[in-house]
Chain A
Amino acid sequence: MAKSNPYVDFDTEDFIRDESFQRWVLSPEPQSQRFWDQYLQLHPGQHASVSEAAAFIRRLKFSSHGPSLVETEASLKRQLDRIAAQEREQVIREGRLRRGGTRRVLAWSAAAVLLGALCWVGFSVFSVHGSMLSSVTAVDGIKTIVLPDSSEVVLNAHAELSWPQDFGERGGREVWLQGEAYFHVKHSAGSPATAPFIVHAQDLDIAVLGTQFNVTNGPGFTNVLLDKGRIRVRLDDSSLNSRELVPGELLRYTAANHRIAVRKVMAELYTSWKDSKMTLDQVPMSKLAEMIQDVYGDSVVFAGRGLADYKVSGTLQVTNEEALLRTLAFVLDIRISRAGDVLVFTAK
């Protein structure tokens, strides 16, 4: 390799332009790693050029204009509906071509409709459970549901909750959640220990005895916040141990690196969405920033000394991030600007 190595005379810009060099920097693999390690060992003089070139490529990281997970799912659903409709049309057209096909057309289109419906169910998370009875979606706005066992669930906008036909029977209380919801689980009439309440979220399950807690299925993360009582969280990723939470603790699972983090937070900041507003009394800005990062995935940067320690009091609109930021800017008389997923808070 060393003798005929074409990279011997490369300067920084040559490296940047080189396809396999780019690939190594952007998506390193064991093989390319070995190659470049070895190259640097043989040509220590090239160290500066190589690291400069790599740093340049790494700096070219662009913000994404990509849609959110929810938007992607909505688009996918529209797409599948569209395809199903066209397939029905196609079947009908083909049926008409055959002689005297009226009855057949009907039969075919019924089959097509059924097929479409089956496909759609197949895609949803709930496909495992054939006997899913009820499913409630909060299309826009917040919705409160009372389950057969009189447990209450407050669904945030776009969230969806499903439960099987035999909910509460044979000792099982299981629900499936997409999006965000706040749970107030009632002790079951019988012995609580025999009837655990289980919430299946995106990446984890939560086993509950009577308790109040909040679940957020976000893009790439799942948050569980315990308000009152006691819960045990089991991760879908079997390499991670289950965790028991005490009130006021937030468990955050990040899908990208399979990490869980548990820490104490101000619970009311995370659950106030269900009342559409939060009433704050002397809450430090840094706590609010932490919540914005946890819930909306945007990190907050303070430009100006002392802003982070600023205490916030008042009532904030929290129906969505935009409304929250707007009220925050107004209440604090600051300017909030966005650069990708970084929010900059500037004192006016």
Chain B
Amino acid sequence: MADTKDIDHGCWEQFTAGDKSAYTVLYRFYYPRLYNYGIRLCQDAAWTEDCIQELMTQIWFKRGMLGRVERPTSYLFVAFRHRILKTHATLPLLTGLAGGDQSFPLELAPDELLMDQEQETGRHVYLQKALDTLTPRQREAVFLKFYEEMSYEEISSMLDISTKAAYKLIARAIGELRVFSVRHPVLDVLLSLGWFLLMAQSLLIG
């Protein structure tokens, strides 16, 4: 099963052989993704940047030992997560027990095509609310699954749990999110009513 979100295998091999231009390709490929993930984990831009730089320095000097890494993405993300969480002094551990905890924020990207339909806009709002009520750990798992497109196995090594537990974690999150996306006539009516009121209000004030 080829992972499309892994860096090209040839590039990884060239880098482990000491090719610096392959290393810059690697850096450009992973930096934005690690950043996008790290900033959610610790919500500290400077810390995220430091951790990436330290990790990437380390892999350059340890490159000789990395030739056997089969999944660069997994390898880097696992190492990165450890670095961010282990050494950050003030970061609360993501135990994932508390719902409503706002760490690991996950915002839906507005879909311009769908947003034209009022019903879809309402659904968007509700799905976002549902995402906000997930536990941080569920949000993280959902992010790794549907944004980073990692396999259950990769997620299990990321979160240091069994593959089965990773599957369950995500299945449960999906179940909770689904409540808000299943077609529901009453919900639809309420939503469009809500939007009507909102529009009317903005028109009156405007």
Interface residues of A (CB under 8 A from B): 12-13, 16-17, 19, 22-23, 26-27, 55-57, 59-67, 72, 75-76, 78-80, 82-83, 86, 119, 122-123, 299, 301, 303-305, 307, 339-342, 346-348
In the complex, which residues of chain A have a beta carbon less than 8 angstroms from the beta carbon of B14? none
**Alpha-carbon gap, A66 to B148, bound state (A):** 13
Interface of B with A (CB < 8 Å)? 1, 4, 20-21, 24, 27-28, 31-33, 35-36, 39-40, 49, 52-53, 56-57, 60-61, 106-112, 114-115, 123-124, 127, 142-143, 145-147, 149, 151-152, 167, 170-171, 174-175, 177-178, 181, 202-203, 205-206
User: Are the CB atoms of B111 and A347 closer together than 8 Å?
Assistant: no
Given contacts A19-B152, A66-B32, A67-B31, contact A57 B24 (CB under 8 A): no
The answer, among B4, B27, B32, B127, for a CB contact under 8 Å with A59, is: B127
Name A119's closest neighbour in chain B (CB-CB). B20
Q: Select from chain A the residue with minimum beta-carbon distance to B174.
A: A16
Instruction: Determine whether the beta carbon of A346 is less than 8 Å from that of B202.
Output: yes
Within the complex, the shortest CB–CB distance from A92 to chain B, in Å, comes to 15
Asked whether A65 and B40 contact (CB < 8 A) given A13-B178, A79-B57, A342-B110, the answer is: yes
Measured CB to CB, the closest approach of chain B to A95, in angstroms, equals: 18
**In the bound complex, how far is the Cα of B4 from the Cα of A66, in angstroms?**
19
B53, B61, B178: the one within 8 Å of A79 (CB): B53
Inside 8 A of A76's CB, which chain B residues have their CB?
24, 27-28, 31
By a CB distance below 8 angstroms, the chain A residues around B32 are 64, 66-67, 72
Given contacts A62-B147, A339-B110, A342-B110, contact A123 B28 (CB under 8 A): no
What are 24 A-B contacts defined by CB distance under 8 Å? A12-B178, A55-B181, A59-B108, A59-B123, A60-B146, A62-B109, A62-B146, A64-B36, A66-B33, A66-B35, A72-B32, A75-B31, A79-B57, A82-B57, A122-B21, A123-B21, A304-B203, A339-B110, A340-B107, A340-B110, A346-B202, A347-B202, A347-B206, A348-B205
Q: Which residues of A contact B56 (CB under 8 A)?
A: 79
Minimum CB–CB distance from B52 to chain A (whole Å) comes to 7
A303 shortest CB reach to chain B, Å: 6
How many Å lie between the Cα of A243 and that of B79 in the bound state?
48
CB of B36 within 8 A of CB of A66, answer yes
With a 10 A CB-CB cut-off, give which of A64, A119, A122 has the most chain B CB atoms: A64
- Are A60 and B142 in contact, CB atoms less than 8 angstroms apart? yes
Which residue on chain B has the smallest CB distance to residue A75? B31
Q: Considering the chains assembled together, what is the distance between the CA atoms of A13 and B175 in angstroms?
A: 8
User: What residues on B are CB-neighbors of A17 within 8 Å?
Assistant: 167, 170-171, 174
Contact A61 B111 (CB under 8 A): yes
- Residues on B with beta carbons closer than 8 Å to the beta carbon of A339: 107, 110
Question: Is B36 within 8 A of A65, CB to CB?
Answer: yes
State the CA gap A16–B146 with chains docked (Å): 10
A19 contacts across to B, CB distance below 8 A = 151-152
> How long is the Cα–Cα vector from A57 to B174 in the complex, in angstroms?
10
B71 to chain A, nearest CB (A): 15
Q: How far is the CA of A339 from the CA of B111 in the complex (A)?
A: 11
Known: A61-B111, A79-B27. 12 other contacts (CB 8 A): A12-B178, A17-B167, A23-B149, A27-B4, A60-B146, A61-B108, A62-B146, A65-B36, A76-B28, A119-B20, A339-B107, A347-B206
- The distance in angstroms between the C-alpha atoms of A61 and B131, with both chains bound, is 12
Answer whether A65 and B206 are a contact pair too, CB < 8 Å, given A17-B174, A75-B52, A76-B24. no
Residues in A whose Cβ lies below 8 Å from that of B53:
75, 78-79, 82
Q: How far is the CA of A56 from the CA of B114 in the complex (A)?
A: 13
* With A23-B149, A27-B4, A75-B31: A62-B61 Cβ-Cβ less than 8 Å: no
